[in-house]
Amino acid sequence: MKNAPAVAITRRKLAAVLVSSTALAQAPASSDPLQAAKERIKANGDALAKEQVPMATEPAFQFKA
Residues 26-60 as b/e (b if ≥16 CB within 10 A, e otherwise) read: eeeeeeeeeeeeeebeeebeebeeeeeeeeeeeee
- The per-residue pLDDT for 62 is 73
- The per-residue pLDDT for 3 is 59
| CA–CA distance, 22 with 8 (Å, rounded to integer) | 22
Q: Where are the alpha helices (DSSP H) in the chain?
A: 11-25, 33-50
pTM: 0.40
**Cβ atoms < 10 Å from Cβ of 65:** 2
- How do the pLDDT tens digits run along the chain, 65 residues long? 455 566 777 888 878 877 776 666 655 556 788 998 999 999 999 988 888 877 777 766 777 77
| CA–CA distance, 9 with 48 (Å, rounded to integer) | 14
